[in-house]
Amino acid sequence: MGMMKIATHFRIKITGAFLLCAVLMTGIMFGQNDQTSWWSEDGTEEPDTTGNLFQKGINLYNTEKYFDALTIFQKISIIPASSNRFMSATQMMLIKTYFRLGESDISIVLGKDFEKRFPDSNYLDDVRFTLAEIDLSREKTDDAIIKLLDVLKISDDPVLIAKTKQTIDPTLDIFISTEALKTLRDSTTDNFQKNFLTLKLAEKYHAGGNNKFAKQEMDSMSGIAGNIVLVQQFNETEKYLKSRQNDQYYIGVILPLSGSRAEVGSQVLRGVRFALNQFRQTNGKKISAIVLDNQSDMAQSIRQVQFLAKNPRVLAIFGPISSENAIAIAVVANQSRIPMITPTATASRLTSMGPYIFQANLDFENMGGFLGKYAWEVSRVQNIATLSPADEFGKEITDAFCKSIDESGGKILTQQWYSGEPDVLKSQLLSMRQIGKEIKRERLADKIRSIEPQLMRLTRAQGGWRTDITLITKRFDQYEFYTPDTIYYLTPKEALISTGLMASSEFEIPDRDSIQYPIDVIDGILLPSQPGDTKLIVPQMNYYNVNSQLFGSGNWYDQNFLKNNREFAARLKFISDYYLDIESKTYKTFVAQYTKLIGSAPNRFDLYGYDTMTTLLGGMKGNELSRESVKTYLAHMPVYNGISRKISFQGNRPRVNSCAFILGFENDVVRPVAFIENGNIVPVKKN
């Protein structure tokens, strides 16, 4: 095998290293152990420029910045071998990086070249594992199995061996029939491969109720002493043969693990891994995940859910992450009567595909509707304006928000839209200003009319304003003030100011607009902004001096940005399906456990994966498991209070999450000002 991999200097954490199929088992530590460390091929540390550059590439790969990592590894690969101690390690990383970027054909070419150029390399097992992943993605199951068996045979890396086992076990269990497995076993002349496949064949027979054949296969075993992998597998198989038949169940996980959205898919998968590991430790059930890489492709997603639905031991589908792919596979999942839960899709029409489809994220309709309900019931807005992106996201949230306000008795003053980036909002904000001025004029006229009777009563006889005024009358658009020797003629404005019934400032509504004049009569403005919009909207709102309560989407959830715009943030309330109380003991304990097992602290998408998978696993604690039992549990479960989100499907619309947070910015911290549980507003009580 060559030089052993030593845990020191260069470290690479292979994240999301599952393509078509990986089963997540208990007893396997993923975190600090899930790292491969890099030295040069001759075993010496490499402190020079090449080593530093290689480390930079590793760091970029670890953070899923695959395009940047590729550039680094390409630079290293053209350094002459005579002065490049990282040649084979770099070639191996190129194979992995191209694979993550969805360029499998290039990975295959490089992989075959690697096997010829570096037959004794320490990284040959890693390369063959990646090539096996590619075979699985192309449904070349037999080829993948042979490569995975080769990895088990030659590798001395316990982490890679564990990963290979995680991949090959469900592949043989789910993706290959008993007869096909027997044929594959009989066709190989390699003793390691033959023995391993014989053990898995015994498990197949047991799962099918044929214990006699299972025993025959076990009795035929020979020559495994001294091989750690085969001895371990023999013990696992013996234990399995003593268990109930078919007590191994799976959750199909469909995520993009290569291509343009590989970063998000890998992060969600980390949370899934932690949730499954935690569940198996506390419940003891053999629930594992079959992880499929849909490469963000709709057709691929449909093929994958069709395959998973055929196996009755697959109890549910987790994923995908995009609304487009989720809508595509929801039709198949519902027809196949297999529950499907997506952690991040937001399309409002998704759950209309049928009773087996569940949406853990807030969809746009609930997002806008709940925010409108909060604006009316808690913030007490009476009239609103909207400033929204003219896309599906903006239109659906705005329509639902306005519908909620309208049905409650509020008034929609204006709906303003923008396309693309909101870098120039002059016309939209000037329109709001004009409407604000009109409201002020209407309110001024209403106030004058309401005060007029009081003005007419200000006479001496009533002990009023001036003792020398004997009578006040109105003629046309002027007031007549009578004294014993003089009649004064005053405009309504002059009359009300001179009598002290109104202040002069109340009449200061400029005919010609000036942005120095504040507009503060629009009760609320909806800003369902996209993530990149916020930094462009705030300075323009400040410049055009429209001072209203503000209501936004979760894209305003950026504590540092809000700190830099405190005055604006003080008027803002926004809805989010996600909130972290980073100071809580519960969160700190969770992060410590997560980091220890996974190897890095969780981010937002890690937590989406964790909370959604934990919700799904809540339906798998009973003794009799089935797709129907999982579906029934999800439809009627109590509110799940997770690390980052609340989830319930019993709200205003079936199977759509009806829980959320209304967040505000107070004392330089984002905090909930209200909870939404099953569509009901629960204001947070202030201490």
All structural domains of the chain with their residue ranges:
10-176, 187-243, 249-362+585-656
Residue type for 23, please? V
pLDDT of residue 622: 79
pLDDT in tens, 114-135: 999 999 999 999 999 999 999 9
Angstrom CA distances, 512 to 195, 399, 430, 505, 543, stand at: 90, 33, 12, 16, 17
Contact between residue 305 and residue 320 where contact means Cβ atoms under 8 Å apart: no
pLDDT of residue 245: 64
pTM of the model: 0.76
pLDDT of residue 599: 84
**Lowest model confidence (mean pLDDT) among 36-50, 83-97, 167-181, 556-570:** 36-50
Statement: residue 254 has pLDDT above 80: yes
pLDDT in tens, 573-584: 999 999 999 889
Distance CA 330, CA 634 (A): 16
Contact between residue 608 and residue 644 where contact means Cβ atoms under 8 Å apart: yes
Highest average pLDDT, of 349-358, 447-456, 494-503, comes from 349-358
pLDDT of residue 461: 53
SS3 413: strand
**Would you state the structure tokens that stand for residue 49, as one six-digit string?**
């420029």
Statement: residue 431 has pLDDT above 90: yes
Distance CA 74, CA 437 (A): 62
Statement: residue 282 has pLDDT above 90: no
Distance CA 102, CA 258 (A): 5
Distance CA 180, CA 185 (A): 9
Q: What is the DSSP letter of 462?
A: G
Contact between residue 494 and residue 488 where contact means Cβ atoms under 8 Å apart: no
Angle at 439 between CA 436 and CA 442, to 5 degrees: 155
> What's the whole-number mean pLDDT along residues 82-95?
92
Distance CA 144, CA 677 (A): 47
pLDDT band at 406 (very low <50, low <70, confident <90, very high): very high
Contact between residue 655 and residue 635 where contact means Cβ atoms under 8 Å apart: yes
pLDDT of residue 13: 33
Angle at 635 between CA 632 and CA 636, to 5 degrees: 90
Peptide bond into 320 cis (omega under 30): yes
> What's the whole-number mean pLDDT along residues 300-318?
92
pLDDT band at 507 (very low <50, low <70, confident <90, very high): confident
pLDDT of residue 225: 82
Q: Return mean pLDDT, the chain.
A: 87
Residues 6+ apart with CB under 8 A from 148: 129, 132, 164, 167, 168, 171
Residue type for 388, please? S
pLDDT of residue 25: 35
pLDDT band at 166 (very low <50, low <70, confident <90, very high): confident
Residue 75 gets the label, from left (phi > 0), alpha (psi -120 to 50) or beta, of alpha
pLDDT of residue 27: 31
Statement: residue 264 has pLDDT above 80: yes
Q: What is the DSSP letter of 425?
A: -
SS3 300: helix
Q: Which residue has the tokens 């492709």?
A: 297
**Would you state the structure tokens that stand for residue 554, as one six-digit string?**
């979760």
Residues 6+ apart with CB under 8 A from 36: 5, 11, 12, 14, 126, 157, 159, 160
CB atoms within 10 A of CB 17: 23
Task: Confirm or reject CATH 3.30.70.1350 for domain 10-176, answering yes or no.
Answer: no
CB atoms within 10 A of CB 481: 23
Distance CA 345, CA 351 (A): 11
Residue type for 154, please? I
**Would you state the structure tokens that stand for residue 337, as one six-digit string?**
């009567």
Residue 319 gets the label, from left (phi > 0), alpha (psi -120 to 50) or beta, of left
429: nearest Cα among 543, 265, 589, 590: 543
Distance CA 212, CA 217 (A): 9
Contact between residue 497 and residue 503 where contact means Cβ atoms under 8 Å apart: yes
CB atoms within 10 A of CB 671: 13
**Would you state the structure tokens that stand for residue 172, as one six-digit string?**
């043989």
Distance CA 216, CA 210 (A): 10
What is the DSSP annotation of 29-60?
A: --STTS-EEE--TTS----SHHHHHHHHHHHH
538: nearest Cα among 558, 520, 521: 558
> What's the whole-number mean pLDDT along residues 205-221?
89
> What's the whole-number mean pLDDT along residues 604-630?
94
Percent of the chain having pLDDT more than 90? 61
Homologous superfamily, domain 249-362+585-656: Response regulator (3.40.50.2300)
Statement: residue 513 has pLDDT above 80: no
Angstrom CA distances, 259 to 127, 138, 297, stand at: 19, 15, 10
